[in-house]
Amino acid sequence: MPENATPRIAMIGSYVPRRCGIATFTRDVAAAVAGACQRSGQRDGHPVPIVAMNDRDHEYQYGPEVVVEVHQQRREEYRNAADVLNTARIDAVSLQHEYGLFGGDCGEYLFELLDRLRRPLVSTLHSILSEPTPKQREVLSRLCEQSSAVVVMANRARMILTEVYDVPTDRIRLIPHGVPDVPFGDTEPWKERFGLSGRTMILTFGLLGPGKGIETSLEALSRVVEAHPDVAYVILGVTHPSIKRESGELYRLSLERKAVELGIQKNVLFHNRYVTNEDLYEYLQAADIYTTPYRAKEQITSGTLAYAVAAGKAVISTPYWHAQELLINGRGRLVEFDDVDGFAKCFNELLSDEAERNKVCKAAYEFGRSMIWPRVGEEYVKVIERAKHEFADAAREQVAQRKLLMRMSLPEPRFDHLFAMSDDTGMLQHAVYATPDRSHGYCTDDNARALIVTAMGCELFQSDELLPYLRTYLSFLHFAQNSATGRFRNFMSYDRRWLEEDGSDDSQSRAIWALGYLISHAPDEAARRLATDLFRSSVAALETVQWTRSWSMSILGLHYYLRQFPEDASMRGHQARLAEKLMAEFSKVASDDWPWIADSVTYDNGRLPQALIIAGLTLDRGEMVDLGLHVLRWLFEVQTASQGHLSIIGNKGWLTRDGERSRFDQQSLEPAALIGACKAAFRASGDGKWLSEMRRCFEWYVGRNDLGLSMVDFKSRGCFDGLTEAGVNENQGAESVLSWLLSLLIMHEMQTGDAPDVG
């Protein structure tokens, strides 16, 4: 696409025929954007594709521009919408945000979509609270962080975003609420349509509810009718759906009763109907005065007020925030909240003095030309175009930084040896050279690792050839779980006999890690559901897990589960409890010169700092993140040779607190664990040093190690089982090839820039 071409844009919001103000706004701004693109001569003006938010169980007959519907309470539909947007021919996404449009606490289900979105996001904020609850603040702050730009419709909104939500000013764009371009002229022809010929007309429009303050207008009108007996006050609109669900039409009836009690029932006309924009424009052109006696000061935008100003109406309003900005400089009258006398005085002045009323109307109309939809559409295109280019520049810069720091051409992942080591039961444990050794059978540890590798491969490379193997490994875990205890058996003979009733803590936690990963990255819903069932039935057994490394792998599994089910307080509690236990163990054993959790450093060590960093980010515990980074730095210090390459602690004696260190045998498991920890560290700190360390770990496999030997057999596509004093251990078992493949896939993920989380 040419650099100066207008962007292809999709929109998220409620949509007509749903009856709400944002549905109408989404329709109008989408049409305005399409029109602006068409006028530029670079787009054909086809409708902007819409992701429509549905409420409750209502079904709507949408037009063809709606490409996907999302029920606000169905989380999987948000994820589906993200997939649709990521594969569509669009350059950016425009979101209409109002807390109540989306499911979850304060609309947090929206992030099921946004966390997966791979397009620049421009968010239009329809509600910005100056005194939000903690959850409201969290949701809006997170939305602003994920948006390339946020659009507000009032200067007051810009101020609140910077002062209350700490949004950088350069991310905020002010675009007025769009309005139709209606002619300025005589009201009489329009009044004839409503049977009001020869009468002065006051209009209020909107969904009826107590917050509209209509009682104030009625009482004020009762003090006006004696001097102006022909005035007609038209109250246009249906009762707000939420109020109607709770109490039917009791509120409307109370207003009708009040009009009777005040003796003004002949002057008050209730038009109980939902109107189209075209209908509303006719009412506005018939009106002499428009009034919004709202009671909420914090109303940051009012579409109806914008429409009235642009139609050239004399507006009398309470000083809510949007009214304060639109009605200055003689464009209307402001009256304090619930001030009946003030409204009565303004009604009398503008009804009595036609010249003054016309002066106010003309000032409003002239200002309204800056808000007509064609101009607003052009402003949206400019903002979205800028966001598109900034997003692309940032993505290119990030990828370039990663490639610069990693400075390597990665081999394409090949799964030949993984396939050779697998049959219809699962993945075999060991190999004699590159040939599977059936005498040792299978284990849950390796099948759990294989499940992660195939799930990651499916997602990164859309590889259909991996799917049957993924299902085999998932089936193995399903069979391995003891339904009575929730724990997993580990070792199985080649003739499919379990060799134990209860597996090790490591096998239990690796299974939880793998299932959690699959829940977050499943290729289809069937795999996700089975993984979820197994995960939930296994978590109770976490109480029996004793080893710190096992706690760490369980934290990783819980992290991935919570990405899919963030509202699950029980699982969040499990994660917090395990993280606290891990922190407590470090405090018991660690010292300044030995920042480790035990008196010896053994294997899979990187999983401990990785778990601390991830838990710290999830739980907003900076001290956990700091400890994880500190421990990871130390692991590299003690595993770096004088020549600068990675020199892994060997398993013939390990590294002990008294300084004894084994150089051999080095196992392929450790670089993979360190790479995972570096990924988390980079996400937490943004420090490019961790990318360099990832590269150093990866290079261990391809010859930058103590013996200068490649650990990868590029003929079999396997990985040797260890680096010994005499050379490589030429057997190519499951643990080794899975460690190599996991490391290779993460490097591809990071180098391409498609790394959606810290795990």
pLDDT tens, 241-257?
Answer: 878 888 889 999 999 99
Q: Where are the domains of the chain?
A: 9-178+375-393, 188-370, 407-752
Residue 315: partners with Cβ closer than 8 Å, 6 or more residues away: 289, 290, 291, 292, 305, 308, 309, 323, 326, 327, 331, 332, 333, 360, 364
**pLDDT computed for residue 542 by the predictor:** 83
Contact 673, 552 (CB under 8 A): no
pLDDT digits (tens, 9 = 90+) for 105-150: 899 999 989 988 889 999 999 989 999 998 899 999 999 999 999 9
**Least confident among 130-134, 488-492, 500-504, 749-753:** 749-753
pLDDT of 45 strictly over 60? no
Class (C level, CATH) for 9-178+375-393: alpha beta
Entry pTM: 0.55
State the chain's mean pLDDT as an integer.
Answer: 90
pLDDT in tens, 535-588: 999 988 888 888 999 999 999 999 999 888 887 889 999 999 999 999 999 999
Mean pLDDT of 279-302: 89
pLDDT over 50 at 1, yes or no: no
Lowest mean pLDDT among 357-366, 391-400, 447-456: 391-400
The whole-number pLDDT of residue 180 equals 86
526 burial via Cβ count (<10 Å: 0-12, 13-18, 19+)? exposed
- What distances in angstroms separate CA 705 from CA 309, 422, 709, one per listed residue? 74, 29, 7
What is the pLDDT averaged over residues 292-314? 89
The torsion angles phi and psi of 316, rounded to 5 degrees, stand at: -120, 125
- Does the pLDDT of residue 754 top 70, yes or no? no
The stretch 167-187 carries a mean pLDDT of 89
Query: What is the pLDDT at residue 44?
Result: 54
Distance CA 116, CA 756 (A): 7
pLDDT band for position 43 (cuts 50, 70, 90): low
- Nearest in space to 571 (alpha carbons), one of 609, 621, 618, 504: 618
**DSSP-derived secondary structure letter, 315:** E
Radius of gyration of the chain (CA): 33
What is the average per-residue pLDDT within 432-460?
96
Please report, as a single letter, which amino acid is at residue 654: W
| pLDDT number for residue 102 | 95
Question: What's the mean pLDDT in 71-90?
Answer: 88
Percent of the chain at pLDDT exceeding 70: 95
Report the Cα 330 to chain-centroid distance in Å.
43
CATH topology of 188-370 equal to that of 407-752?
no
The domain made up of 188-370 has a fold known as Rossmann fold (3.40.50)
* Mean pLDDT across 497-507: 93
Q: Are 446 and 466 in contact (CB under 8 A)?
A: no
> Does the domain formed by 407-752 have CATH 1.10.1740.10?
no
- Tell me: pLDDT of 476 over 90: yes
Q: What are phi and psi of 294, to 5 degrees?
A: -60, 155
